[in-house]
C-alpha cells in the first residue's frame, strides 16, 4: 500500500448541489469543487495528492420514489432521477475544471456527447493520472439509490473508503437529531449496529454492501468550509466512522 496514493469515493447528495433548493446553485458547487481541487494530485507522479472519485446524487431534481407516489411509473421516474444526477455531474465537472482540476465524467446511461460510458478500468486509469472521476446516472438501474452506487463504485475501483458528505447533519446519531433531543453523535459505529438500530444516514443496501466487503465509510458534514478537504485527506472532519 505504500506506493499507492490514497483513493476515495466521495458521495455528494443532490441537496449539496441545490444548496437546499431545486436545481444547481453555482456558488455552492464552486465551493465544493475548490475543496476537491485542493487535494488532487498535481500529476501522475505526485505522491502527495488524493485520488478522488465522486458519485453525485440527484435529489435536487427528482427522486423516483416520490414521483411514483404521485402516480408516475416507478421505473420511468427513476430514470428521470438518474438523468438529474448527470446534470449535477456536468455542473461539478465545470467548476472543478475552473478550479484547475482535470476531470472525466462517466455515465451509467450511455450519452456519448456529454460523458464517457462507465468503464471501471478506464476510471482507475484516470485516477492514476490525477484526474477526478465523476460517476453520473447512478447504476443505470431503477430501484437503486446513489448511496448504493457509491458503495459499489468504491468497491470496484478499490477505494480506501467511502466518504459521505452531508448537508445539515454532521455524522451518524444514536437517534434522529431533528426529533429526539437526547440523540448524540457517534464517533464510531459498526455497520451491524447501524443496521440493527435502524440508524438512517445512507440506505441499508449501501450499508450492507460495505459491511459484507469490509469497506469503511466516513459520514461527515459539509460545513464548516474546509471540511470536505479535511475528510478527503483522511483527517478528522468531526464525523462518524462506520466499519
Q: How far apart are alpha carbons 182 and 177 in whole angstroms?
A: 8
Question: How many residues line the site for ligand UDP (CB under 6 A)?
Answer: 23
Residue (of 117, 161, 143, 141) closest to 203 by Cα position: 143
* Size of the chain, expressed as the number of residues it contains: 243
User: Rule CB under 6 A: is residue 86 a binding residue for ligand UDP?
Assistant: no
204 annotated ligand-binding residue: no
CB of 200 to ligand UDP, least distance (A): 12
Contact 199, 173 (CB under 8 A): yes
The x, y and z cell numbers of residue 65, run together, are: 420514489
Tell me whether residue 167 is annotated as binding. Answer: yes
| Nearest one of 210, 116, 222 to 159, comparing CA atoms | 210
Q: Packing angle between helix 74-98 and helix 26-37, nearest 10 degrees?
A: 60
By CB under 6 A, is residue 144 in contact with ligand UDP? yes
Question: Do the annotations mark residue 79 as ligand-binding?
Answer: no
Measured from the CB atom, the residue of 84 and 130 that comes closer to ligand UDP is 84
**Interface with ligand UDP, residue 58, by CB under 6 A:** yes
Whether residue 118 is annotated as binding a ligand: the answer is: no
Tell me how far, at minimum, the Cβ of 48 lies from ligand UDP, in Å.
30
Nearest to 188 by CA among 115, 149, 238: 238
Please say which residue, 66 or 158, places its beta carbon nearer to ligand UDP: 66
- In the bound complex, what is the minimum distance in angstroms from residue 5's beta carbon to ligand UDP? 26
- Regarding 209 and contact with ligand UDP (CB under 6 A), the answer is no
Nearer to ligand UDP, 189 or 206 (CB): 206
DSSP letters spanning 15-67: HHHHTTSSS--HHHHHHHHHHHHTTS-SSTT-SS-EEEEEEE--TTT--HHHH
Residue positions forming the annotated binding site:
11-14, 58-59, 63, 78, 139-146, 167, 173, 176
Which residues bind to ligand UDP, rule: CB under 6 A?
13-15, 57-59, 63-65, 78, 81-82, 84-85, 138-139, 141-142, 144-147, 149
Amino acid at each position: 500500500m505504500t506506493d499507492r496514493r490514497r483513493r476515495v469515493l466521495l458521495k455528494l447528495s443532490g441537496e449539496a448541489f441545490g444548496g437546499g433548493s431545486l436545481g444547481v446553485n453555482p456558488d455552492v458547487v464552486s465551493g465544493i469543487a475548490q475543496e476537491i481541487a485542493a487535494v488532487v494530485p498535481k500529476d501522475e507522479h505526485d505522491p502527495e495528492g488524493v485520488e478522488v472519485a465522486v458519485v453525485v446524487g440527484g435529489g435536487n431534481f427528482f427522486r423516483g420514489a416520490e414521483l411514483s407516489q404521485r402516480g408516475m411509473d416507478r421505473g420511468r421516474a427513476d430514470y428521470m432521477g438518474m438523468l438529474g444526477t448527470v446534470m449535477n455531474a456536468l455542473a461539478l465537472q465545470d467548476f472543478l475544471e475552473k478550479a484547475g482540476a482535470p476531470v472525466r465524467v462517466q455515465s451509467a446511461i450511455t450519452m456519448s456527447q456529454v460523458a464517457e460510458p462507465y468503464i471501471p478500468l478506464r476510471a482507475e486509469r484516470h485516477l492514476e493520472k490525477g484526474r477526478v472521476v465523476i460517476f453520473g446516472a447512478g447504476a443505470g438501474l431503477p430501484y437503486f439509490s446513489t448511496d448504493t452506487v457509491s458503495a459499489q463504485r468504491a468497491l470496484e475501483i478499490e477505494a480506501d473508503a467511502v466518504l459521505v458528505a452531508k448537508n445539515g447533519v454532521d455524522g451518524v446519531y444514536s437517534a434522529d437529531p431533528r426529533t429526539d433531543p437526547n440523540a448524540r453523535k457517534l464517533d464510531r459505529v459498526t455497520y451491524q449496529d447501524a443496521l440493527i438500530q435502524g440508524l438512517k444516514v445512507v440506505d441499508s443496501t449501501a450499508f450492507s454492501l460495505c459491511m459484507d466487503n469490509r469497506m469503511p465509510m466516513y459520514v461527515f458534514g459539509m460545513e464548516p468550509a474546509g471540511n470536505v478537504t479535511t475528510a478527503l485527506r483522511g483527517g478528522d472532519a468531526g464525523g462518524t466512522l462506520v466499519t
